[in-house]
Structure 1
Amino acid sequence: MTIRMLFFVAMLLTIIGCQQQEITVESNPEQIDAEFVRQEAPGPVEEERTETTITIGAVGDVLLHERVYVPAETEGGYDFMPMLQEVESLLAAPDFLMANQESMPGGVEIGLSTYPSFNSPQEIVSNLQTLGVDMVIGANNHTLDRGVKAVESALDFYDEIGMDYVGVYRDTPDREKDRIVAVDDITLGVLAYTYGTNGIPIPEGHEDIVALIDRERMQQDVERLREKVDIVIVHMHWGDEYAREPNAEQRELAQHLSEAGTDIIFGHHPHVLQPIDHLQQENGQETYVFYSLGNFFSGQNFEYTDIGGVGTIEVTKTIKGDEQVVEIHTPHIEPTLVMLENDVYRMMPMADSGGSLINGSTTEQMREHVQMYVNE
């Protein structure tokens, strides 16, 4: 074989070898693709997680004695704003705020009145609304002081200004209407009850004008709401007047409501602050109890009756995929004080005062008092 032929054969073998190498590479695309996938494929997609926290608040008894509302009179009616403006920041802070309107605001048309049979100016409600109150509680021992006419006049006014109410009702259909409020995608159901009406009988034909404490009916109400909302709130008008700690009946009723599914209980009637408690049932149900929020705005001058508070508690709702968790936490009462100066009653944060003029209590002492069960 000539040199020229040998060169040609060598070149031909080289070309064939290169073609075979290219064919080998192209014939195994899975190897390259698999490596590419290992480098570029995304990991598992995390489920979206959202978390929402709101603050629920309540204040105690708004009980307007004559000595409170007379100085508020103006040429055009009544104005309580100068008396309340110093607590505006406290009332504006919660995302949803309730107030126990203990003296029925039937208005001047049926005649204002004071202890023992109260009827108050309606402006107290619109003033509280301006300051941040979203719902008034109407179940208390003074609900029927001036009869059905005062109740209906108050409810007409609530409707007129768009103020939600609970515990006092026009009729049975009104009572059977669920009080459900949505705050930032967290739903709240609210109920309210009173131990009695100062011996005044419930008028015939108005059997549901005010919700009385009835264990069976309360349980039914709570269980019905429990299925519809994230948080069940119950206001209770209960306890012994001027007692600084709850009695056995308050504790028993709190357990009953907790077992039924209540998350938060706000108490009224003692006119003084009582501690916060935390109840936990075997089924995991947790309940925070504010046994008494004291007097918020009144003219009572007994020991500790000049001290009330803005009770607050936080609710956090976490949603991840199909799972939903609702947690209740951070219960607190910020003490407030009613001061009498130049025959005018005015509200202020207790922290901004020198303490109670009636008994010398300080803000720190009151904070310790309301937290003593939780701290234990």
Structure 2
Amino acid sequence: MRTVTIGCMSIVILLTGCAAEEVQNDQETENNQEEHVQAETEETSITIGAAGDVLLHGRVYKRMEENGEYNFAPALENVTSLLEEPDFTIVNQESIPGGEDLGLSAYPSFNSPFAIVDALQDAGVDMVSSANNHTLDRGMEAIHNAVSYYEEIGMDYVGVYKDDEDAASPRIVTVDGINIGMLSYTYGLNGYTVPDGHEYAVQVIDQEVIREDVRNMKDEVDVLMVNMHWGTEYERLPNEEQKELAAFLADEGVDVVIGHHPHVLQPMEWVKGKEGNQTLVYYSLGNFYTGQDQKYTDTGGVATFEVEKEEDETIISEPNIDFTQVVPGPENEYIVKPMAEADHIPNGGETEEELRDHVYQWIEE
């Protein structure tokens, strides 16, 4: 009986086990389907950061030299967290880093040490934009030197190029599954002209060229950013040309515009495009690291915004600026600090509260 009973129990258990397995399989199928649907609708979110002008005057780089070597890490150590925190950060490398062998120089024709690029990368910068009025200060040799060094250390770059193939290669960076497209243009080149045969080197603002570039890249990326070197130096509000170009870029469907050149902070604004889209425009992020001493030129900001991707939709939100200030260091060198930690009165006498009111005046908080 025991054997038979055990046998009967085994059969029951076996049959029950089969039924349980079927139920389990059904549940697993349902779970897999739910997970698949969830994966399809799951949002991906990243933070993108951008900082202002890196323009090395002689008084800046000379004070960071010791025994023939340049080290800018101490100048940036206090703002590393601001640069590292975003998932992707770009800055405007305004003075071309053509290296020491070419001969360092400052205003009016800049050439900076390679070491500034190392310091920016170590501090958390992922890409530099180099289309600006100082790009051709020291000619094509400086550009080629800079690009070679960017490539040597693995620093992404946009706005200067080594040849036609490099210029034609789209700048698309993928971060956590989100494709970021980058373009970069300048209003001019301080009277210099691009040498014949080197038209690839840097792109001056031309609406037809920009329109074509934007349309070629737009469908390949989730968020399209355009760096614009524009505006009037030392003016705290954008001029009419900036406003017109911002409207043009919005009409073309650009997602974010990062502005440079005025060397002072200007407001940010949502600009409505002709298709009803909203383009986030930072008209000017001011100076990030420089030796300028005019009013308002020692303060700048690290801009951030959120990018959320859900299926085919990308949402830009949470525009912000963390204010920075260039202050004297312990050896009277130039260093950058978060403005909240700076114990030095800015050249313009502005407070952090005043700056916030200034840059947010066209943004509804």
With normalisation by structure 1, the TM-score equals: 0.86
Q: Say yes or no: does 1:327 pair with 2:319.
A: no
Matched, 1:362 2:354: no
Consecutive aligned runs of 4 or more in structure 1 exceeding 6 Å deviation: 40-45
Matched, 1:304 2:296: yes
Write the distance in 2 (CA, Å) between the matches of 1:211 and 1:253.
15
Superposition deviation, residue 130 in structure 1: 0.5
Aligned counterpart, 2:177: 185
2:251 paired with 1:259: yes
The residue aligned with 1:99 is 91
Partner of 2:163: 171
3-state SS in 2 of match to 1:197: coil
Per-residue CA deviation, residues 309-368 of structure 1 (Å, 9 max, x unaligned), is 10111101123xxxx321000001111000024531111000112463322211111111
For 1:136, the equivalent position in structure 2 comes to: 128
Q: Which residue of 2 aligns with 1:343?
A: 332
Q: Give the structure 2 partner of residue 3 of structure 1.
A: none
| Contact kept? 1:106, 1:150, Cα under 8 Å | yes
Query: For residues 362 and 369 of structure 1, what CA distance do their matches in structure 2 show?
Result: 11
Pick the aligned partner of 2:282 from 290, 295, 299. Answer: 290
Equivalent pairs counted in the alignment come to 334
Residues 227-251 of structure 1: per-residue CA shift (max 9 Å, x gap) = 1010000000000000001001001
Q: Which of these two proteins has the greater Rg computed from alpha carbons?
A: 1
Alignment of 1:119-130 (within 5 A): 119-130=111-122
Question: In 1, distance between residues paired with 2:199 and 2:217?
Answer: 22
5+ long unaligned stretches in structure 2: 1-25
Paired residue type of 1:339: V
Alignment TM-score, normalising by the size of structure 2: 0.88
Amino acid aligned to 1:361 = E
SS in 1 for 2:79: helix
Q: How far apart are the structure 1 equivalents of 2:72 and 2:274? A: 47
In structure 2, C-alpha distance between the alignment counterparts of 1:359 and 1:226, rounded to whole Å: 40
RMSD, matched Cα: 1.8
Quote how far apart the aligned CAs of 1:43 are: 9.2
Trace 1:136-155 onto structure 2 (pairs within 5 A). Answer: 136-155=128-147
Question: Structure 2: which amino acid aligns with 1:145?
Answer: D
Matched, 1:53 2:45: yes
Find the aligned partners of 1:288 and 1:66 in 2 and give their Cα distance.
35
Question: Does the residue aligned with 2:267 lie in a helix, a strand or coil?
Answer: strand
What secondary structure sits across from 1:153 in the alignment?
helix
Instruction: Give 1:270's aligned residue.
Output: 262
